[in-house]
Amino acid sequence: MPTPGGLFGGVFARGRVDTSDRAWLQAMLDTEAGLARALEAAGLAAPGAGAAVTGAARADAFDLAWLGQQAALTGNPVPALARELTRMVPPGAAAAVHKGATSQDIIDTAAMLLARQAMATVAADLATAAAAVAGLAAGHRDTLMIGRTLLQQAVPVTFGLVAAGWLTGLDEARTALARVAASRLAVQFGGAAGTLAALDAAGPEVAAALAAELGLAVPTLPWHTDRLRVIEIGAACAGVTGVLSKIARDVTLLAQSEVGEVHERGGAGRGGSSAMPHKHNPVAAIAVLGCTRQVPGLLATLVSSAEQEHQRAAGAWHAEWAPLSDVLRLTGSAASWAVDMLTGLAADPARMRANLDAAGGFPLAEHVAALLGPELGRPAAHDLVAQASAWAAANGRPLRDGLLGSPEAGRLAAAGITPEQVDRALDPAGYLGAAADFVDAALAAHGAAEPLG
């Protein structure tokens, strides 16, 4: 798992989401400390025990490497961690360490704490990215460009509409993330087999107190082998990365040398190539894609790990730890890169118009056929435009010449169609449909969603 200071960390561990070993350890310690406080509140631990355990629960005081070695003996690091934490607190507080809990309680609850931090960080970055995209949508509401379907030129659109599509995706991903963060992050506390038998009748009271201490939800019952919460966290993150990958792919395509309709910010050394100094690679978009491509496979592992035996799983639970960490980290990195990509993205309206004009009017063939339909009938209008287009393409001429200078021109004149009407039909600004309305709707919806940031 790349770390911020590692060789690949600059790409795959960018931003403020921390799922490092130290972060995991601190989340486990926070859970143990919260449990000690909950036990004290329930009268099951000595006065002051909660504060004593909390004071000792500092990741820097533990040897990560040693805990990792001990994990090989028990299948996870919690037994060794609990022993070390017990050793570090005063004798009167020792009984409050890990009382009533099992290793899975500590690790699952720690996972919820990490997910909460990660999702809040991702949500903040998505809000920043969405604000930048909203600016692009508003500023380029009427900026003409060619639309592309199946990687081929289609009909005119606006860059504002393209950005509005990005914006809607970002806002919907933020909404889904917020729903999971608000309702699906729950404490795990069930003891050996989900009954909390070690605490007798006080078990539910301690579970509720632990949830309150940690700011997590209280589940209906322990969820040791019900892994839907983990899947939903992964799915919400996958939704985010799916949206970000679409935006990043658009940026890479629009930034191609032959297209040149957008470009990322520059700077010393930014976007350079080791072999081709003339290049200006869209680094942020590429990094987003490098992160997002990994998430679907990781989500599949989380889903496949939901098949768990009886009250506690043999291996499937363990299989979640690394992919869940990676999903959170990669989503955070992609969101951070997206902020970089979108806050520094510049559109080139002149190049957009030049590429549109270079299409020779052929993308407006549908509009011309609509103009001719009332006079010639739809089938005849379609055939006339198709024949004029074929003539123009064969002779290297724009569609206008095919309509007004080919053998088909006589049929237009006979139908009372003037060159001025043809020119109006070939004006891309007159064939944008509801593009501006859609941009306005996306911006209005964004304004309503803004508090999610």
Residues tagged active-site: 273, 312
The token pair at 447 is 């304004």
**DSSP result, 290-314:** HHHTTHHHHHHHHHHTT---TTS-S
Judged on CB neighbours under 10 Å (0-12, 13-18, 19+), 285 is buried
DSSP summary character for residue 268: T
- Summary count for the chain: helices (H), strands (E): 19, 4
How many of the other CB atoms lie within 10 Å of CB of 423?
Answer: 14
User: Residue 223 corresponds to which tokens in the numbers above?
Assistant: 């969820």
Closest CA to 142 of 425, 352, 408: 352
- Report how far residue 445's alpha carbon sits from residue 165's, in angstroms, rounded to the nearest whole number: 12
User: 213 near 151, Cβ under 8 Å?
Assistant: no
In angstroms, the CA 185 to CA 242 distance is 22
Helix (H) or strand (E) holding 342: helix 321-343
Q: Nearest-5° angle of CA 179, CA 183, CA 186?
A: 140
Separation CA 32–CA 57 (nearest Å): 8
Q: How many CB atoms lie within 10 A of CB 378?
A: 12
**Residue 40 CB partners (closer than 8 Å, separation 6+):** 46, 47, 48, 49, 50, 96
Residue 204, CA distances (Å) to 21, 166, 215 in order: 30, 45, 16
